[in-house]
Every structure is written in structure tokens, then in C-alpha cells.
């Protein structure tokens, strides 16, 4: 969530944000944009998020990773003279002249509650928790709204067919921004449904990695307790030395790569 300096509220803004007096070198000329109906002049080369900060907004929530991964900065905007609503991530989308925009820090879609440990790998589990899945009319507005180019309608179709594995694969790049649900005519919470599908696939369908089972068992047995205790007693200088002298995995390494020192494996 964000608010401009002139409308600051102690519950959402930590400190006043000074307005920029000039254009930073190398960022281009100023262009007009409209943030929640109010006009601001911002450098043309900035992303929506940086442009809003330039205009005096201070982000307390709704900024997240700033790298296009977390989905916290979902933004809906319209270009001047264009009827079409467009979507993007504020940290990735560059401002355009006369852009009208507003942010959606989260979308209040239905998220079903369940005891995951009691679920099976049956598609019926998803059908019971999300019966609205079958309200999908295949309009594909969800896919058009996705800033990550995920084939949303396709993974919903796969789930309707009972193919959890395919749905998990197709939705892998979902960042949970909720923009798909904001445009859905059937009012599906696609991103929550996909998250459940991926959790079921990873936990109950995909083959389990043998080495992961071994490491988990070693951790439970207390194998690493002595190593951790020794690390906790080290000075900052010793920790830095260990870190700098560690054997690093090569940038290009085979899948079965292991370090020469196998003591901690």
C-alpha cells in the first residue's frame, strides 16, 4: 500500500517524503501520469514504482521484492484515449505519458481452508474445496491479465480434466498477484487454486528426491547439532573466513556435483 506525502497517515507512512526538485541526470524528460486520479510529473524512464516514489509516495506495503517475483505490486492502468484496461507489475512496467493507474496490493479472492495433511492426490480434493472451478467459461481474460504470461485458462482447464500434474507445471511461474481473479467473469480465485495444485503435486504426486529424504533424516537425528553449536560460538571474523574460503559450486556443474569435503553432507 502507498500514500502520497500530502495525504500521509501515521498508520501507513513512517516518515515524510521530500518532493524531488529536479530531474535526476540520465532519467529523461518529465511526463504526466495520473495516480489514483491525481496528476504527477515524473521522469519518462522510470518504472511505475520508482515514478510513484519520485512523485512523493512512500511504500510501506505493496512493494515486496522489487524484482518481478513476489507479485505484491500488481497495477491496473489505462493509456490515454484507450478503453482497454491493462495490467502490470509496478516494479517492472515503465510509465507512459498520461497513464492512468492504480495499485492493487492484494485481491480479496476466496482462499479455501483445509488440513493439508489429510488431503490425497485425487482431483476431487480440489473440486470439493473450489467448486467454483467449474464456473470457468473459457473467456481467457485471466491469461490476458497475467503479467508473467502464465497460461491461466489452460491450467484451469487441466484441473477440470483432473490433471493436477499439468496444472502444476503450467502454473509454475505464478507469483500470486491476483490479477487473474480480478478479471474473471466466473469469479474464480485462479491463483489460489493453482497454489493448492502445486502443493498437492509436490507433496503427493511428484517422485520424492532420495537425497532429500536422507538429509531430512540426518537433521532429525541430530547429526548437525555439533556443527551448528560450533558455528554459534565462532567470532564474526572466523565466520567471515569460513565463508570466504568455502568451496563453491561451479557456475556450470553436473547434477551430481558434490564438494570435495563431504564431512557436512
| Of the residues 103, 131, 153, the one at which a domain ends | 103
Say yes or no: 167 and 84 in one domain. no
Say yes or no: 83 and 164 in one domain. no
19 pLDDT band, cuts 50/70/90, is low
The boundaries of the domain holding residue 129 are 116-205
Whether residue 99 is predicted with pLDDT greater than 80 in this model: the reply is yes
- What lies within 8 Å, CB to CB, of 87 at 6+ separation is 74, 75, 76, 77, 145, 146, 147, 179, 182, 183
Structural domain contains residue 228: no
CATH number of the domain bearing residue 138: 1.10.1060.10
Burial of 44 (0-12, 13-18, 19+ CB in 10 A): middle
Structural domain contains residue 215: no
Whether residue 11 is predicted with pLDDT greater than 50 in this model: the reply is no
CATH number of the domain bearing residue 68: 3.10.20
Structural domain contains residue 262: no
Neighbour order of strands in the sheet with 30-35: 38-43, 30-35, 99-103, 74-78, 86-89
- What lies within 8 Å, CB to CB, of 256 at 6+ separation is none
Structural domain contains residue 253: no
Name the 3-class secondary structure at 2: strand
| Of the residues 76, 103, 130, the one at which a domain ends | 103
pTM of full prediction above 0.75: no
Structural domain contains residue 193: yes
| 61-70, 131-140, 199-208, 242-251: range with lowest mean pLDDT | 61-70
Structural domain contains residue 238: no
Structural domain contains residue 61: yes
Report the number of distinct structural domains present in the chain.
Answer: 2
| Of the residues 48, 71, 103, the one at which a domain ends | 103
**How far does the chain reach from its first CA to its final CA, in angstroms?**
43
16 pLDDT band, cuts 50/70/90, is very low
Say yes or no: 56 and 127 in one domain. no
pLDDT score recorded for residue 25:
64
pLDDT in tens, 131-163: 999 999 999 999 999 999 999 999 999 999 999
Say yes or no: 87 and 139 in one domain. no
Say yes or no: 121 and 178 in one domain. yes
Amino acid at each position: 500500500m502507498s500514500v502520497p506525502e500530502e495525504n500521509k497517515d501515521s498508520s501507513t507512512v513512517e516518515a515524510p517524503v521530500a518532493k524531488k526538485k529536479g530531474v535526476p541526470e540520465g532519467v529523461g524528460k518529465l511526463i504526466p501520469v495520473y495516480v489514483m486520479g491525481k496528476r504527477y510529473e515524473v521522469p519518462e524512464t522510470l518504472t511505475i514504482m520508482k515514478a510513484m516514489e519520485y512523485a512523493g509516495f512512500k511504500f510501506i506495503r505493496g512493494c515486496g521484492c522489487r524484482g518481478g517475483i513476489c507479485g505484491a505490486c500488481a497495477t491496473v492502468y489505462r493509456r490515454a484515449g484507450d478503453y482497454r484496461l491493462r495490467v502490470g507489475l509496478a516494479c517492472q512496467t515503465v510509465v507512459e505519458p498520461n497513464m492512468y493507474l492504480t495499485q492493487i496490493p492484494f485481491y480479496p479472492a476466496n482462499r479455501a481452508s483445509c488440513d493439508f495433511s489429510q488431503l490425497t492426490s485425487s482431483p476431487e480434493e480440489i473440486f470439493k474445496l473450489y467448486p467454483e472451478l467449474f464456473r470457468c467459461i473459457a473467456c481467457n481474460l485471466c491469461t490476458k491479465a497475467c503479467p508473467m504470461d502464465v497460461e491461466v485458462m489452460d491450467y484451469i482447464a487441466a484441473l477440470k480434466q483432473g490433471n493436477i500434474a499439468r496444472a502444476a507445471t503450467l502454473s509454475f511461474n505464478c507469483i500470486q498477484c491476483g490479477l487473474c481473479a480480478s478479471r474473471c467473469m466466473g469469479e474464480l480465485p485462479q491463483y489460489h487454486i493453482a497454489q493448492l495444485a502445486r502443493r498437492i503435486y509436490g507433496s503427493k504426486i511428484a517422485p520424492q528426491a532420495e537425497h532429500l529424504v536422507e538429509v531430512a533424516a540426518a537433521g532429525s537425528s541430530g547429526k548437525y547439532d555439533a556443527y551448528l553449536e560450533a558455528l554459534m560460538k565462532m567470532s564474526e571474523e572466523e565466520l567471515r573466513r569460513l565463508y570466504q574460503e568455502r568451496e563453491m559450486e561451479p557456475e556450470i556443474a553436473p547434477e551430481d556435483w558434490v564438494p570435495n569435503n563431504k564431512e557436512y553432507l
